[in-house]
Structure 1
Amino acid sequence: MTIARSRSADQIQTHVEPGIRALLDRLDPGNRLVAGYQLGYWDADGSPADCRGKGLRPTLALLSAGAAGATPEAGVPAAAAVELAHNFSLLHDDVMDGDTERRHRPTAWTVFGVGAAILAGDALIGLAHEALAEAPGGGPAAHRLALDVRALVAGQAADLSFERRDDVTLGECLQMAGDKTAALLACSCALGAILCEGSPALVDGLSRFGWHLGLAFQLVDDLLGIWGDPQRTGKPVGSDLRARKRSIPVVRAVTSGDPNGRKLAELYRSPEPLTDDEVARASALIEATGAREGTERQAGQEVERARDELDALDLPAEVRAEFLDIATFITGRDH
């Protein structure tokens, strides 16, 4: 299953994308160009393009509205808001991480400059809050988005701080992943129901489902950052290792007490850029500690916890089925 094949994902193009494009039209020409490039709607010269992301978060937001018994149209402000918030974070992350490629094309900062990318990210998070503030009864939804964006920012701050440390614990790494990724997935799963006045029990259950799903997503993302196929991920082989990221498999390995983990820690302390051979060696050392297998196993466990949360909720059959399909997609994806 791919996200693009789900019924709610089809509604992204028919309902959500027009709403996002209308919001982008509120921006000044410069920020509009960069923001639309980031979202994959057009190229750097403004000509039409089709380089969109997976649409995971807006799909979850539409399903969240459906869980509350609302129509897809009612969930559009929530779906637009989480997609804009997500791309706000990507624009800033690419600058901070120095990433030069996303979705198989140059990142926005490499095309338009660092300042332009930062400003476009600022513009997108502003539009996300506008989308919710202007929706009927959108106050609680806007407040929830603000809380989860604050967690996202805290997670990114922790991620950056890890680059200056060689004593990061697995618990710290998982907390960072919870803030940086799981918080916005939890928001996506809850926001449509909040906007459509779902019950507190429904909102809380969907939020917990999304949090476990988000942690599984980050675990898989960390695996792909080391072992993903560049043709599918759009990033070089071992990109996270080259950047010496303290991702979950890396931290799991270096804190394992295994001699191979200590060798990996020594390699990470080297001041020189890692060569291709050293990237391959680092990857092999992680596997030798069992950290790859352990991370894969934890991702599967988080998906099971997400399913358990869903089982406890009274949901329309079609909504439940699509949520479950997305949970399966999370751990089986290759990009």
Structure 2
Amino acid sequence: MSVTSVAERPRTADEVLAWARALVDPALRAVVDGLPGPLRRVCGYHFGWWDERGRATAADPGKAIRPALTLLTARAVGGSAEAAVPVAVAVELVHNFSLLHDDVMDADLTRRHRPTAWSVFGISQAILAGDALLAVANRLLAQEPAPVCDRGAEWIGTCCVELCAGQWSDMDFEQRADVSVSEVLAMAAGKTGALLGCACALGALAGGGTPAAAGRLDAFGRKLGLAFQYVDDLLGIWGDPAVTGKPVFADLERGKKSLPVVAALTSGTAAGARLAALYHADRPRGETELRSLAELIEAAGARTWACGQAAAALSDAVGILQTEIADPLPAAELLHVANLIAGRDR
């Protein structure tokens, strides 16, 4: 029986992610194993396959949301998941290139419940490992038949520029006191939405879909990415570190202008004004003050607002999905993954 044989019922989100991991991981490992020794060591550690000494571990490898979207959209346009595996691997490589760099820029010490790659191997080493992942992602796409090798490469190149611009804005906002909600939404669209959209578009191309269909699924992924970012920002303030694998209040400690923070700062409320006076002070903050900042953000209505905006973005994504995908099985599985993104706790 094929790995992608269709069951009587649509798979749950957890089943879809496990299915995607089973399809993608062998090819992903083969790509990483082909890297020169030092790069292989850092990348394999980052993916959770081994510890800093190269000994096999069972660390959290991540959720595989982006490759799952690629495989599902390939099936949604009438293609096979197996044919889309190289593209799904390329998407996962680009995502992890961004994570390796993001951890360096944010000085994050933990990811997925273990020390980040840069904190173990060094900043330069982590940056170079991320660069290598991006290079082999492009090489994979170049080896695919048309239109993936041309349109797909162009799509992912544009996505990476958007991703970098979004990350630039994210860092720049930390130094500014006048960030607007429209600016932070544009940042989220590039930093997160672009890659989820690209994952869906590349899946459609790999599945034999038209460029127009790929464009509409790109729009679906972008809306889903916005919902993802709202939830991510909520978890960055109120998430449980035991579940998220990240320190509590890490975003607030860095002074990040996340979606809830900017909504609170621009709310025109007394809590928002008090938050601004504290948030823009350039000094270290202890846990007590960080907790007070989180309480002010909530008092300003920003937590409720962000939850509502995440639900609205998800609704927009589902609307595109229902219009675009005629086959009920992949449509249902995409919907399950979308709902997981909007309701996740890590």
Task: Give me the TM-score of the superposition, normalised by structure 2.
Answer: 0.94
Mapped partners of 2:14, 2:57: distance in 1 = 17
Query: Which residue number corresponds to residue 245 of structure 2?
Result: 234
Question: CA-to-partner distance for each residue in 1:243-262, whole Å, 9 max, x for gaps?
Answer: 11110100000111111111
- The one-letter amino acid paired with 2:335 is L
- The one-letter amino acid paired with 1:40 is G
Match of 1:108 among 95, 111, 117: 117
Query: Which residue number corresponds to residue 323 of structure 2?
Result: 312
Mapped partners of 2:314, 2:190: distance in 1 = 17
Mapped partners of 1:207, 1:78: distance in 2 = 15
8 Å Cα contact 2:297/2:303 also seen in 1: yes
Mapped partners of 2:62, 2:13: distance in 1 = 10
8 Å Cα contact 1:20/1:80 also seen in 2: yes
Query: Which residue number corresponds to residue 105 of structure 2?
Result: 96
8 Å Cα contact 1:140/1:195 also seen in 2: no
8 Å Cα contact 1:263/1:285 also seen in 2: yes
Query: Which residue number corresponds to residue 88 of structure 2?
Result: 79
Question: CA-to-partner distance for each residue in 1:117-138, whole Å, 9 max, x for gaps?
Answer: 0000000000111111111222
Mapped partners of 2:199, 2:289: distance in 1 = 39
- The one-letter amino acid paired with 1:175 is A
Matched, 1:18 2:26: yes
Aligned length: 333
8 Å Cα contact 1:3/1:56 also seen in 2: no
Find the residue that maps to 1:54 and give its secondary structure. Answer: coil
| Mapping of residues 236-255 of structure 1, within 5 Å | 236-255=247-266
Matched, 1:179 2:190: yes
Query: Which residue number corresponds to residue 4 of structure 2?
Result: none
Mapped partners of 1:58, 1:20: distance in 2 = 11
Unaligned residue ranges in structure 2 (runs of 5+): 1-10
Unaligned residue ranges in structure 1 (runs of 5+): none
Mapped partners of 1:301, 1:34: distance in 2 = 39
Q: Once the 2 structures are TM-superposed, how far is the Cα of residue 276 of structure 1 from its aligned partner?
A: 1.1
8 Å Cα contact 1:58/1:80 also seen in 2: yes
Query: Which residue number corresponds to residue 289 of structure 1?
Result: 300
Report the identity percentage: 48
Mapped partners of 1:332, 1:5: distance in 2 = 16
Matched, 1:118 2:127: yes
Mapped partners of 2:322, 2:23: distance in 1 = 28
Matched, 1:262 2:273: yes
Q: Which moved more, 1:267-276 or 1:245-254?
A: 267-276
| Mapping of residues 140-159 of structure 1, within 5 Å | 140-159=151-170
Q: Once the 2 structures are TM-superposed, how far is the Cα of residue 195 of structure 1 from its aligned partner?
A: 2.4
Q: Once the 2 structures are TM-superposed, how far is the Cα of residue 38 of structure 1 from its aligned partner?
A: 1.1
Query: Which residue number corresponds to residue 7 of structure 2?
Result: none
